[in-house]
Amino acid sequence: MSELKLYNTLGRNIQNFQSQIPKKVGMYVCGPTVYGPPHLGHVRGPIVFDVLRRFLKYQGYKVRFVRNITDVGHLVGDADEGEDKLQKQAKIEQLEPMEVAQSYTDQYNWAMDQLNVQRPSIEPKASGHIIEQIEMIQTIMDKGFAYEVNGSVYFDVMAYSIEHKYGELSGRNTDDLIAGAGNESRSLEGQDEKKSPNDFALWKRATPEHIMQWTSPWGKGYPGWHIECSAMSAKYLGESFDIHGGGMDLLFPHHECEIAQSKTAHNHQLARYWVHHNMITINGQKMAKSLNNGIKVTELFEGNHSLLSRGFGPKTLRFFVLQAHYRGTLDFSEEALIASEKGMKRLESAIGIIKNLKVSDESTIEIGDVKSAIFDALNDDLNTPIVIAQLFELAKRIQIVNDGKEKINSVIRDEIGQLMNEVYNDILGMPITSNESSNNNLDEIMSLVTDIRTSAKNEKNYALSDLIRDRLRAAGITLMDSKEGTTWKID
RNA sequence: GGUCGGAUGGCCGAGCGGCUAGGCAGAGGUCUGCAAAACCUUCUACACCGGUUCGAAUCCGGUUCCGACCUCCA
């Protein structure tokens, strides 16, 4: 089997993956800011990194997967004038800020469970790591890379730039940033306190009405936008670890700042592989809270949205996401979702007939080529669309055998079953639903009903047979007639 | 304005020098009392203009359009 290769944003090329410690991987992924219900945009990253995590595990790695919860709240855009997001929501809802954060955290985790995204090994909260963040800020200050002004602490990008390259990840240079900064009118709070427009806050002085604030060596305040990830990743994964993941929109400034903070505090690189997934777009535009074009996960599941005529299951959403490569944008539409859903069902119906395939002594089909194509694709920067295409190829071969055009022996049949299970279920994280009903009573009843209908059909009493079919359909059960008899499924 | 990505058939999406994925939709067919489902077969592409090459969707240059980031965001 070939080696895993990943596109590393740090270096902007495909690189062979090698873990720092043999057979162990430390992985940090930026989690949600819990100030609103989960929407479609929140979904792609977790699914992508879940597949990466599952694939690493499949290859025998022990993975420690850390995904944070940002519950401290950051400054919001122009309309909200420096008010803490969580505080703002709290006022609206008349709740404790932590109650709001907890509620959205629960909603987020519920959505992740629905999507079959495995829970992180550790899910640290920013609010629970204020001490670690303060300590890290202090270290950065002690080393001369940060300064205090009026109870706020800023990172000194100029001082950092003497020995380091601020912009190594995002490909920006500080001059361009300054040129760009003056371009539009952005009157961020505290801009004038900074030595350079490039400097970013490590600690922010809190105004009295700020609910979420903590005591620090610089007075009451709250941590800056980027320090939590640096502090918490170091605590749980070490000062240098293997993979740091996140959305492309976090590349700058968030990840760039994390690198600067960690390099100055710890004297070595933060993560060795930076993996960024692209956005889900809607009508070609990214979906974001700030653009107000988001579809909530619950709206998608329930079909309760102007762009949807009905609901779509979490599995469909997961399949939809995995049908595109993680580094490209993925354009959302109901039409595309329907396409994924139908394809997924077709694939799964093929999976469902594997165990019923008639075996011969010999096999006229092989699957070695498909198997190697699948693992080559996974190793090639996690090319899940090709993996899925190969699974369809496998489905095709299953059907050909089922139609009696080719033969299969029990060895190959079991191999197909195992491959499907490993790839589709274990690695892609698509749970294979069993066709067998867990309800024996229902089986008995349906068996009776279909028998009645079959005898009605035999007597050419089509009025009765169609009535049964229509009534069952209304109840959510679809009957399918074939030569072998009538089968049924619950929609 | 700066930095970085894109433009593939009706839609979603792979591919990254020759073998021209895959899914959905469309068309035809098998099956069927009729349906549905399932299965089989099949038609539509590489934004535009040059160049390199025996050969380009794929490499190079230019043009047009689109997006992301530079301000919280997955």
A218 with A298, same domain: the answer is no
A416 with A288, same domain: the answer is yes
Q: What nucleotide is nearest A45 when CA is compared to C1'?
A: B74
**How far: A202 CA to B21 C1' (Å)?**
48
**How far: A197 CA to B2 C1' (Å)?**
15
CATH of the domain at A400: 1.10.730
Nearest by Cα to A280 from A239, A327, A212, A350: A327
A82 with A214, same domain: the answer is yes
**Measured between alpha carbons, how far is A99 from A42 in angstroms, rounded to an integer?**
21
Of A406, A427, A448, the last residue of a domain is A427
* Residue A155: Cβ within 10 Å count: 28
A382 with A448, same domain: the answer is no
**How far: A448 CA to B38 C1' (Å)?**
24
**Measured between alpha carbons, how far is A413 from A195 in angstroms, rounded to an integer?**
68
Q: Which residue has the higher pLDDT, A197 or A369?
A: A369
What pLDDT, on a 0 to 100 scale, did the predictor assign at position A209?
67
Specify the amino acid at residue A460: K
Q: Is residue A435 part of a domain?
A: no
What pLDDT, on a 0 to 100 scale, did the predictor assign at position A76?
37
Describe the crossing of helices A334-353 and A384-402 by its angle, rounded to 10 degrees: 50
Task: Please state the rounded mean pLDDT for residues A299-316.
Answer: 92
What pLDDT, on a 0 to 100 scale, did the predictor assign at position A291?
63
A400 CB below 7 A from strand B atoms? yes
Specify the amino acid at residue A478: T
Residue A69 has pLDDT above 80, yes or no: yes
Q: Is residue A85 part of a domain?
A: yes
Q: What nucleotide is nearest A31 when CA is compared to C1'?
A: B74
Q: Is residue A432 part of a domain?
A: no
**How far: A40 CA to B43 C1' (Å)?**
35
**How far: A441 CA to B27 C1' (Å)?**
44
Which residues in chain A, range 214-243, keep a C-beta under 7 Å from any nucleic strand B atom? 225
**How far: A12 CA to B60 C1' (Å)?**
21
DSSP string covering A180-209: HHTTS----TTGGGSSSTT-EEEEEEPPTT
H or E segment and range at residue A214: strand A214-216
Least confident of A177-181, A306-310, A313-317: A177-181
Write out pLDDT tens, residues A376-385.
Answer: 999 999 999 9
A128 CB below 7 A from strand B atoms? no
Euclidean distance between the first and the last CA atom of chain A, given in angstroms as a whole number: 39
Q: Is residue A116 part of a domain?
A: yes
Of A259, A277, A295, the last residue of a domain is A277
Q: Is residue A177 part of a domain?
A: yes
A330 CB below 7 A from strand B atoms? yes
A323 with A456, same domain: the answer is no
A252 CB below 7 A from strand B atoms? yes
Q: Is residue A433 part of a domain?
A: no
Helices marked H in A44-190: 44-58, 85-93, 97-114, 130-142, 157-163, 174-181
The answer to whether the CB of A361 falls within 8 A of the CB of A312 is no
DSSP bridge partners of A481: A486
Residue A325 has pLDDT above 90, yes or no: yes
What pLDDT, on a 0 to 100 scale, did the predictor assign at position A371?
94
Residue A77 has pLDDT above 60, yes or no: no
Would you give the distance in Å from CA A277 to the centre of its chain?
9
**How far: A57 CA to B71 C1' (Å)?**
38
**Measured between alpha carbons, how far is A29 from A274 in angstroms, rounded to an integer?**
10
Nearest by Cα to A424 from A388, A375, A380: A388
Across A110-114, A437-441, A466-470, which has the greatest mean pLDDT? A110-114
**How far: A75 CA to B71 C1' (Å)?**
9
Describe the crossing of helices A227-237 and A256-266 by its angle, rounded to 10 degrees: 50
Write out pLDDT tens, residues A174-228.
Answer: 776 665 444 443 444 556 788 888 899 999 988 776 778 899 999 999 999 899 9
Q: Is residue A113 part of a domain?
A: yes
> Which value does ipTM take for this structure?
0.92
Q: Is residue A434 part of a domain?
A: no
Q: What nucleotide is nearest A32 when CA is compared to C1'?
A: B74
Residue with tokens 């399949």: A319
What pLDDT, on a 0 to 100 scale, did the predictor assign at position A91?
66
Average pLDDT value over all residues in chain A: 87
A419 with A273, same domain: the answer is no
A204 CB below 7 A from strand B atoms? no
Write out pLDDT tens, residues A35-62.
Answer: 889 999 899 999 999 999 999 999 999 9
A374 CB below 7 A from strand B atoms? no
**How far: A441 CA to B68 C1' (Å)?**
55
Of A383, A406, A427, the last residue of a domain is A427
The answer to whether the CB of A382 falls within 8 A of the CB of A273 is no
A490 CB below 7 A from strand B atoms? no
A162 with A260, same domain: the answer is yes
Q: Using CA of residue A77, residue A200, residue A218, residue A139, what is the dihedral sign?
A: positive
Pairing of strands A330-332, A280-282: parallel
Q: What nucleotide is nearest A226 when CA is compared to C1'?
A: B72
A30 CB below 7 A from strand B atoms? yes
A481 with A411, same domain: the answer is no
- Residue A342, both tokens: 């139908």
A484 with A464, same domain: the answer is yes
How many separate domains does chain A show? 3
* Residue A417: Cβ within 10 Å count: 16
What pLDDT, on a 0 to 100 scale, did the predictor assign at position A178?
64
Nearest by Cα to A384 from A375, A371, A393: A375
A363 with A393, same domain: the answer is yes
A315 band by pLDDT with thresholds 50, 70 and 90 = very high
Q: How far, in Å, are A105, A257, A264, A446 from residue A165 at the CA level? A: 36, 11, 12, 69
**Measured between alpha carbons, how far is A187 from A171 in angstroms, rounded to an integer?**
25
Q: What nucleotide is nearest A377 when CA is compared to C1'?
A: B14
Chain B positions within 7 A of any protein Cβ atom are 1-6, 10-15, 21-25, 31-40, 66-74
Domain of residue A28, residue span? 5-277
A233 with A286, same domain: the answer is no
| DSSP annotation of A252 | I
Task: Please state the rounded mean pLDDT for residues A238-261.
Answer: 94
What pLDDT, on a 0 to 100 scale, did the predictor assign at position A80?
41
What pLDDT, on a 0 to 100 scale, did the predictor assign at position A78?
32
Write out pLDDT tens, residues A393-418.
Answer: 999 999 989 888 888 999 999 999 99
A465 with A420, same domain: the answer is no
CATH of the domain at A72: 3.40.50.620
- The angle subtended at Cα A277 by Cα A276 and Cα A278, nearest 5°, is 125
What pLDDT, on a 0 to 100 scale, did the predictor assign at position A52?
97
What pLDDT, on a 0 to 100 scale, did the predictor assign at position A187?
41
Number of separate helices (H) and strands (E) present in chain A: 16, 16
